Amino acid sequence: MPVNRRVTLAARPAGFPQESDFACDEVSSGSPGPGEVLVRVLWASVDPYQRGRMSEARSYAQPLEIGDVITSQSVGEVVESNDPRFSPAELVVGQLGWQEYAIARAGALRRIPPEVDPPSLALHALGATGFTAYFGLFDVGKPRAGDTVVVSAAAGAVGQIVGQLASIGGCRTVGIAGGPEKVRDLKELYGYDAAIDYKNDDVVAALRDERVDVYFDNVGGEISRAVQRRLTIGARIVICGQVSQYNAPKPEPSFHPGLLVVFRARMEGFLVSDYVHRFDEAARRLAAWLASGRINWREDVTEGLENAPRAFIGMLNGENRGKALVKVAERTT
């Protein structure tokens, strides 16, 4: 049984996470039981929702306990399989966590087909964040051709895909991100029709001539308040995340529901996990758009599992340019 290096929760972060809130240890990988698969992790994902799991507050998922491996989607190769659906050396993706080896139930893994290249795409454009963009935009936001779709954290893992999907759907797209590099990506890589640098632009002024039919919100707070001034009658606000609130001791009430009467507007939250039965649909369509060059993507890769906490903290600070990932190991096969 190989040695398994893991990153665990050492302490619940008080406000903004510190590296000392995480610990690195080594344990035996264990052996897979019946119906289980031992996976060697190659890539681990770094996502804002993980911050929620580190808090004690009950949410849509159980909080982590102190000492637990940090939850994440990871891509790995099968080392040993006790299930006929998987064979050694196959690439899989699943909720494997920040560790070098994971044992998973076969039914909780998805095989990564060879056309997903690089396989790390299964962690973003052709995985959870891509699916989040797809269902959040199309099923919740319901854009019509000609609509203006505004996206916050538009250069992030979800936002970069949302903008391109909205463009494919015939919408005008306005992306909001922090700093000139990300804003350049919004325009040159992700094809946003307009891009706003919230760190250097006056967001209210920049939106003055926009009419917001769909607001795909990843951040909440001040940026959302600026966008909401420009809603149209019948507008839809998709609540994907509220990253501006994740490190607050208590989320700040930031929204006045009366605004929804003024604009006869709808605000709706969703979780990608509710769409599992349609992941194949999203994967097929996203793959076709990637193959035809209609969807671009960017990864921000941190080398080494031990640096995952730093990558996570950096992402919460908005330092990543593209999907934040940790490269844990090279493929052996």
In the complex, the residues that contact a copy of itself under the rule CB under 8 A are: 59-60, 217, 220, 224, 237, 239-242, 245, 251-271, 274
CB of 298 to a copy of itself, least distance (A): 25
DSSP letter for each residue of 194-227: EEEETTTS-HHHHTTT--EEEEEESS-HHHHHHH
Closest to a copy of itself by CB, 142 vs 285, is 142
CB of 263 to a copy of itself, least distance (A): 7
Beta carbons of 268 and 240 less than 8 angstroms apart: no
CB of 261 to a copy of itself, least distance (A): 4
Task: For residue 151, give the nearest of 161, 142, 252 by alpha carbon.
Answer: 161
Q: Are strands 148-152 and 212-217 parallel, antiparallel or unpaired?
A: parallel
Closest to a copy of itself by CB, 32 vs 136, is 136
Closest to a copy of itself by CB, 25 vs 60, is 60
CB of 203 to a copy of itself, least distance (A): 17
CB of 259 to a copy of itself, least distance (A): 7
Closest to a copy of itself by CB, 27 vs 259, is 259
Is residue 259 classed as helix, strand or coil in its secondary structure?
Answer: helix
CB of 71 to a copy of itself, least distance (A): 16
Closest to a copy of itself by CB, 102 vs 219, is 219
Closest to a copy of itself by CB, 115 vs 274, is 274
Q: Are strands 110-111 and 91-94 parallel, antiparallel or unpaired?
A: antiparallel
Residues 6+ apart with CB under 8 A from 7: 22, 23, 24, 69, 70, 98, 99, 305, 306, 308, 309
CB of 58 to a copy of itself, least distance (A): 9
Closest to a copy of itself by CB, 112 vs 243, is 243
How far, in Å, are 100, 108, 243 from residue 93 at the CA level?
A: 14, 9, 25
CA distance 196 to 184: 10
CA distance 274 to 294: 26
